[in-house]
Amino acid sequence: MSDYPNFRFDITHQDSDTRARLGVLHTPHGSLETPNFIFCATKAAIKAGGPRDLEEIQADIILSNTYHLMLQPTAEIVEKMGGLHKFIGWDKPMFTDSGGFQIFSLGHGSVAEEVKGTRNTERNKTLLKITEKGAEFRAYTNGEKHLLTPERSIDIQRRLGADLIVAFDECTPFHVDKDYTARSMHMTHRWAERSLAEFDRGNNGAQAMYGIVQGGVYEDLRREAAEYISSRPFFAHAVGGSLGADKAQMYDVVSFTMQYLSPERPVHLLGIGGVDDIWEGVSQGIDTFDCVSPTRIARHGWALVRWGKKYRLNLRNSRFRDDPEPLDPECDCSTCKTYSRAYLHHLFKAGEFQGMHLLTVHNMRFMTRLLQTIRQAIKDNRFTEARREWFSV
Quick one: which of 280, 359, 286 has its CA closest to 37?
Answer: 286
d(CA 321, CA 304): 18
Residue 179 appears among annotated catalytic residues: no
Instruction: Tell how strand 135-138 and strand 127-130 pair up.
Output: antiparallel
Distance of CA 177 to the CA centre of its chain: 26
Long-range contacts of 154-158 (CB under 8 A, 24+ apart): 154/195, 154/198, 154/199, 154/202, 154/209, 155/75, 155/198, 155/202, 156/66, 156/69, 156/70, 156/75, 156/99, 157/66, 157/96, 157/98, 157/207, 158/199, 158/202, 158/207
Residue 53 appears among annotated catalytic residues: no
Catalytic pick among 53, 60, 97, 328 = 97
What one-letter code names the amino acid at 229?
A: I
Catalytic pick among 15, 277, 290, 328 = 290
Distances (CA, A) of 380 to 114, 282, 384: 36, 15, 11
The residues that are catalytic are: 97, 290
